[in-house]
């Protein structure tokens, strides 16, 4: 029978043999899969694993700093790269969802390639690919390090010419979490909701500006912290906020306002393929909505998304 302990033992042994004294580069995303893959490799080859954690400026509020700190605490050899400006620039005036994804994917490849280039003697690229990614084979368009078919071989970034190591490719998500737990990874990190590679860019409908990112980060933080405070976070598969490209009329004191609308989304799911909206308590929604409107400048209306997938998708873009 499969046990996390046996998996860790055999995988570490196999990777030691396979990689030997070789150097490995790995892109951390802050998510469960890349983190578990990194810790496994760290056990096998230690400082010969070079992790790169890119801030695309589209992460949750304060996430880059806090997750980078966690990675260092876990003993990983990790470099944090703040490329926020570069991603914002790549996204400038772009409103089309797929073009946003492509711009982010390309910016990620450029940043990662620049960084990988500075490392000498690297011969492996590690990825946190898990079994569902393997069978889906049409890989996510996000800034995962998955090799894209449209890159012709001659023009490949350097890191794409590396040999690939994917220690989790036979595992399902729940098994990845069990392996992570076995290796002592913090349960809060292992229990994190899925977060899309393109981040808040696909939750800001229309074009992206630094100001919109800031507004959505504030709204999202109030929502997510509220879920934790009300002990609802672990009962929800994924949650987040969406900044809509419309203004609505409101009133504050004697003043008429004309400000942004945000939607809150929380779903139950097992794999993201289908999903049901979560029946969150009215008292919770009331508290969160009040906090958002009172504290986040530029937002005067909050709505709750009551659509399931299909026919809606989890993300709005
Ligand atoms: P949808 O919106 O298709 O989302 O119902 C299903 C799951 O996939 C995530 N998602 C993405 N993840 N890059 C990613 O890495 C993407 O471009 C992307 N689009 C959606 C979404 O957050 C949900 O968990």
Residue pLDDT, tens place only, 62-81: 999 999 999 999 999 999 99
Decide: 10 and 43 in contact? Cβ < 8 Å. no
SS3 for 258? strand
Both 135 and 12 in one domain: the answer is yes
Atom of ligand 1 nearest to the CA of 315: 2
Extract the tokens encoding 223: 């929502």
Residue with CA nearest ligand 1 atom 7? 272
Decide: 242 and 220 in contact? Cβ < 8 Å. no
Both 82 and 182 in one domain: the answer is yes
What lies within 8 Å, CB to CB, of 23 at 6+ separation is 48, 49, 50, 119, 121, 122, 123, 124
- The per-residue pLDDT for 27 is 96
- The per-residue pLDDT for 239 is 98
Give the count of domains, the chain: 2
Decide: 264 and 305 in contact? Cβ < 8 Å. yes
Pocket test of ligand 1: the residue of 60, 272, 307 to mutate, having most ligand atoms within 8 Å of its CB, is: 272
Strands 78-82 vs 49-55: parallel, antiparallel or unpaired: parallel
User: Is 309 among the domain residues?
Assistant: no
- The per-residue pLDDT for 156 is 72
Extract the tokens encoding 80: 């944090």
- The per-residue pLDDT for 135 is 81
User: Is 156 among the domain residues?
Assistant: yes
Domain boundary among 190, 219, 242: 190
CB atoms inside a 10 Å sphere around CB 232 = 16
SS3 for 146? coil
Alpha-carbon span 284 to 280, nearest angstrom: 7
- The whole-number average pLDDT for the span 234-263 is 97
Looking at the predicted structure, is the pLDDT value of residue 219 above 80? yes
Residue with CA nearest ligand 1 atom 20? 196
Alpha-carbon span 199 to 59, nearest angstrom: 6
Per DSSP, helices labelled H in 239-314 are 282-295
Secondary structure letter of residue 150 according to DSSP = T
What lies within 8 Å, CB to CB, of 122 at 6+ separation is 23, 24, 25, 50, 116, 159, 162
Looking at the predicted structure, is the pLDDT value of residue 308 above 70? yes
Residue 150: Cβ-neighbour burial (10 angstroms; 0-12, 13-18, 19+): exposed
- The per-residue pLDDT for 157 is 81
Atom of ligand 1 nearest to the CA of 269: 24
Binding residues: 29-35
CB atoms inside a 10 Å sphere around CB 306 = 11
Kind plus residue range of the DSSP H or E element containing 117: helix 97-118
CATH number at residue 53: 3.40.50.620
* Entry pTM: 0.91
Name 49's bridge partners: 24
Atom of ligand 1 nearest to the CA of 317: 2
Residue with CA nearest ligand 1 atom 11? 196
**Structural domain for 47, as ranges:** 4-190
User: Is 314 among the domain residues?
Assistant: no
Both 223 and 274 in one domain: the answer is yes
Q: Give the count of alpha carbons within 13 A of 157, CB side only.
A: 23
Question: Which residues have any ligand 1 atom within 6 Å of their CB?
Answer: 101, 140-142, 194, 196-198, 238, 272, 309, 313-315
Interval 17-56: pLDDT, tens: 999 999 999 999 999 999 999 999 999 999 999 999 999 9
CA of 208 to the centre of ligand 1 (A): 18
- The whole-number average pLDDT for the span 112-130 is 93
Both 166 and 287 in one domain: the answer is no
């Amino acid at each position: 029978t499969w046990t996390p302990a046996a998996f860790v033992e055999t995988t570490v042994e196999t990777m030691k043999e396979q990689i030997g004294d070789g150097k490995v580069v790995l892109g951390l995303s802050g998510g469960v899969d890349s983190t578990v893959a990194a810790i496994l490799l760290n056990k096998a080859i230690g400082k010969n694993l070079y992790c790169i954690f890119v801030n695309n400026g589209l992460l949750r509020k304060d996430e880059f700093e806090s997750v980078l700190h966690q990675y260092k605490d876990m003993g990983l050899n990790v470099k944090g790269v703040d490329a926020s400006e570069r991603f914002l620039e790549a996204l400038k005036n772009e409103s089309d969802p797929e073009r946003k994804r492509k711009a982010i994917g390309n910016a990620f490849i450029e940043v990662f390639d620049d960084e990988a280039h500075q490392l000498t003697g690297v011969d492996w690229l590690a990825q946190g690919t898990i079994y569902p990614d393997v069978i889906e084979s049409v890989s996510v368009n996000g800034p995962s390090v998955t090799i894209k078919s449209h890159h012709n071989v001659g023009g490949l970034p350097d890191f794409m010419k590396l040999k690939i190591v994917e220690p989790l490719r036979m595992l399902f998500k729940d098994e990845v979490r069990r392996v992570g737990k076995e290796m002592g990874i913090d349960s809060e990190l292992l229990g994190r909701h899925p977060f899309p590679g393109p981040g808040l860019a696909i939750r800001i409908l229309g074009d992206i500006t630094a100001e919109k990112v800031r507004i959505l980060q504030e709204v999202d933080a109030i929502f997510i912290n509220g879920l934790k405070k009300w002990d609802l976070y672990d009962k929800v598969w994924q949650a987040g906020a969406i900044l809509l490209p419309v203004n609505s009329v409101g009133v504050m004191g004697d003043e008429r306002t004309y400000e942004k609308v945000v939607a809150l989304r929380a779903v139950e799911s097992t794999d993201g393929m289908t999903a049901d909206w979560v029946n969150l308590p009215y008292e919770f929604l009331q508290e969160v909505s009040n906090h958002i409107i009172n504290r986040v400048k530029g937002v005067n209306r909050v709505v709750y998304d009551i659509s399931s997938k299909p026919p809606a998708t989890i993300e709005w873009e």
